Amino acid sequence: MSWSKLKQQLESFLSPALQGKVEYRATSYRYSPDKAGSSYLTVDKKNVLNMNDKTSGIRWYQTEQEIKNDPDIQIPVSLEEIEAIRVDTKGTVPEDRLIVIARGRKMSVLAKELLSAQSALSKSNFVTAANQFLSTSIEDNMESSDILLNILAIVDRRVGKKRILNMTETIKLKHPAVQYFYELRRSTL
């Protein structure tokens, strides 16, 4: 599918409040083999998420420790996860440390997922993700671990106010770019 047709289809699914505010853009270099081109999302004509360069408005993480030490990332821990730690340690760890251990383990897993997801962003991945978004259900796109699918689903007009408001806790576990577009969408409700 050509870029112009793909862009037209994606913009037809934008929430009415975000039309004209969020735009999909792409550049390519026909005669320069060393430059593959890039895709990016703009909000109010500002490049917010660049899918080829790590210098974007959204914070890119370089290491797992950087993610673990970021005070803005809040990781909720369930009782089942605490109980699993209690069983693993055979009950020898104090109760308050169980929560710290569970949060640390969960944050390590999420950090690895974030790093692998953000390292895969490129123009070709954007086109692939956009085509996948158009051919799968909104539920599958929302539950996906792919950053682009999450963003495209959040700004979609088929996702209603109630669903957006109910996502507050689960969005905390997503990439900062997904959180940014979630807050943008919430501000338009």
Total-model pTM: 0.68
**109 neighbors 83 (Cβ within 8 angstroms):** no
d(CA 140, CA 146): 10
Is the pLDDT at 57 greater than 50? The verdict is no
Q: pLDDT tens for residues 102-124? A: 888 888 888 777 766 666 565 56
Burial code (b: 16+ CB inside 10 Å, e: under 16) for 27-62 equals: eeeeeeeeeebbbbbbbeeeebbbbbeeebebebbe
Mean pLDDT within 152-176: 91
Q: What is the pLDDT of residue 55?
A: 46
Q: What is the pLDDT of residue 114?
A: 72
Expressed in angstroms, the distance from the first to the final Cα of the chain is 32
Residues 6 or more apart whose Cβ sits within 8 Å of residue 45 = 23
